[in-house]
Amino acid sequence: MNKGWTEDQLAARVAQDIPEGACVNLGIGLPTKIPLHVPKDREVLFHSENGIIGMGPDPAPGEVDPDVVNAGKKHVTLLPGAAIVHQADSFSLIRSGRLDAVVLGGLQVAANGDLANWRVPGAGVGGVGGAMDLAVGAREVLVMMRHLDKNGRPKLVKTCTFPLTAPGCVTRVYTDLGVFDCVDGAFVVRELAPGISEDEVRTHTEGPLVFASRTALDQVASVQHEAADR
């Protein structure tokens, strides 16, 4: 698919929803692009579970500090006033509910908010790392991912078939096709990316969809139609 948001546009869309003064953990992969797109007049405290509070964006070429890396071992920068803390203190912050949000990558998200993001069955043995602590400790769990996997299969599903990171934890999903909330066992479409139609989202989503911009009567007819098809 050539339409929809690019990775940087997607990161900018997520950054748009992060409020002033929030303390936010960023997972490895796509979420690490978010600091580049936070408005310069907005203060956000980014956290990395290996012990950084006040993480900045990727370093410019030639300005890499080899001792400053995020939890994915990727070089990052420190914002003015940043703190480096022991990993035990970092996880105390996570587990005590002091994170306003976490933005994680995803392999599968189910319509009921279940998240699978740490291992693909049959692809070797992996480790969940701190993802399960983040998924249950943060006040809000946001997922940033591509809508389809490398084989063209939907990642927004009825039920996760991959090992779970945490059940019922996801509140909102951002993909290259749009913005989706997990509400009452369905994906509520809050926004479509440029050039993406409702039909395209239906085609590329396995789980039940509700379009927030449509009328209640339309929604009932749509849900009844989908139920009849199943």
- Would you name the residues annotated as active-site residues? 49
The CB-side HSE value for 182 (13 A sphere, CA atoms) comes to 26
- For the record, the structure tokens of 134 come out as 């983040």
| CA distance readout (Å), 194 to 5, 89, 187, 204 | 7, 42, 19, 16
- DSSP letter at 228 equals H
- Residue for token digits 């400053």? 68
